[in-house]
A and B are shown apart, each in its own frame.
Chain A
């Protein structure tokens, strides 16, 4: 008596799990909303702020405050400088998208399976837990990265149309393009694996989101420091941040991999 089963190609397994995750996510209106809403809000607010700054010249008081907060822009045309600052500020908010969106997807992915008791049949198939973890990570990360990149592209287009030369220079600065291309995937992976790690320990989506939400704090902090001129992200610090994120990614993935063991999932996860 023979079985039809064979060991499926690893890529096929990862692809199948990813597609299933996406189908499941698309059927969850709350999750779709929480994926689309943050980028949409940031995008609308960002474009709106640049447009308003282009239409309404800053007052002398605003300019004084701007020069005090950002000595680097002294000497520039105030209107240009304001638009440049606003455009840059919203670019920093774009870096929040890869921390918030994939976190939610990853949390739903694990806690959802725990609640529905779907993990045991999945683990009974001839798949490796590393493949499942990878598939879940990719299923959460890919939409977040794509959504961020699309939002950035729209923002870039809108600022080019509406903003001043300083604003366009700010959003097309090579450092920011590199940040979007390199930092966004790194932040996304960090957020995803953190979400998975937290989800192995708690059963409530809201609690997991609250704990995972702490990941945005350093990003906001760095952003505020940079906008206010207290920290200048140059090439060295950019590279250092990227390496730091890479190390964090590896560390959190390793911890998630430790928690995501077949026996742990079946015997200890509650």
Chain B
């Protein structure tokens, strides 16, 4: 996969406030890239920089093959952005909203009409195309805004909190849409606070606070930060000596009690877990079951971003 977006020491300052600092980033063609960080971390500013909406204070970036600062118009033609607010023309119909933006993106009348129909159908809004957007629910408006961001088939689509405030059905439509975009080989740059969604959708994730703190696949981040964790359920409940025995097993990197189970971390569970079972049985423990314990992305996020 080629690189579709690259930044080098990209920095943005507003007077004395540094919103983005020395951002080095590479995003590959066709991947769903998660961009996670706390409120005020500078995610929206980064999106605006990468969409050539605002100019960097220093540093460089290349987006969809175009240099930021010298080919801004081409960058804007090559990317699509879903902003925090849908920002639709509420008195106008769904169809007129999309046709207007299709025209701004240089689509001819026939292509604009066919793309409008395609995306309204994709978002399940075709039957309501003639209605004023003001009559739409929040979820429908968000789907409209996503359709607007994608109508010109951008190489990279930037989505800022695409499912925030949506009901489960609308959120699923949006997730399916993201999967479809990815299937077409387009790149999705996803800013979200929904860690479960990021976990499900993203090929790689960057934790960000003014600059990149950590970047990797969700699986590799888990392994790097937590290793492989296994849950050993003891009945009726584990005793302190069980924990002592487990910690003494060769290969165990961490063991602790959690909700009536012993959570064991190791680099090689296939080798270490049988040893742990033997040690527990030897110590008189009744091992009810052994299961792989999946560390949530929330745990990873908190450890990386909040340092907990």
Contact = CB atoms under 8 A, between A and B. Distances in A.
Interface string B216-245: 000000000000000000000000000000
A4 interface: yes
Interface string B73-116: 11011111101011111111000100011011111000100010
Contacts of A123: 53
Contacts of A12: 103
B152 interface: yes
A69 to B, nearest CB: 49
A120 B89 contact: no
B153 interface: yes
Most buried by A among B29, B89, B96, B154: B89
Contact of B76 (A116, A124, A263): A124
Contacts of B80: 124
A221 interface: no
A123 B14 CA distance: 20
B90 A116 contact: yes
A7 B77 contact: yes
Contacts of A4: 105, 107, 111, 115, 152-153
A252 to B, nearest CB: 26
Interface in A1-21: 1-9, 12-13, 16-17, 20
Contacts of A28: 91
Interface stretch (A83-91, A125-133, A243-251): A125-133
A269 to B, nearest CB: 13
A27 B101 CA distance: 19
Given A1-B29, A1-B186, A118-B88, A262 B106 contact: no
Binding site of B, secondary structure by majority: helix, strand, loop or mixed? loop
Contacts of B51: 124
Contacts of B91: 23-24, 27-28
A16 B108 CA distance: 12
B54 interface: yes
Interface string A86-130: 000000000000000000000000000000111111111111100
B96 A23 contact: yes
Most buried by B among A9, A116, A125: A125
Given A4-B111, A4-B115, A262 B53 contact: yes
A266 interface: yes
A24 B100 contact: no
Closest 9 CB pairs of A and B: A6-B106, A27-B91, A8-B106, A5-B152, A125-B104, A5-B77, A117-B85, A126-B77, A5-B105
Given A116-B88, A121-B101, A263-B53, 5 more contacts: A2-B155, A4-B105, A116-B89, A117-B83, A125-B76
Interface of A: 1-9, 12-13, 16-17, 20, 23-24, 27-28, 116-128, 262-263, 266-267
22 contacts: A1-B186, A3-B155, A5-B107, A5-B154, A8-B103, A8-B106, A9-B106, A16-B104, A20-B96, A23-B96, A116-B87, A117-B83, A118-B87, A118-B89, A120-B53, A121-B145, A124-B53, A124-B79, A125-B105, A262-B54, A263-B54, A267-B54
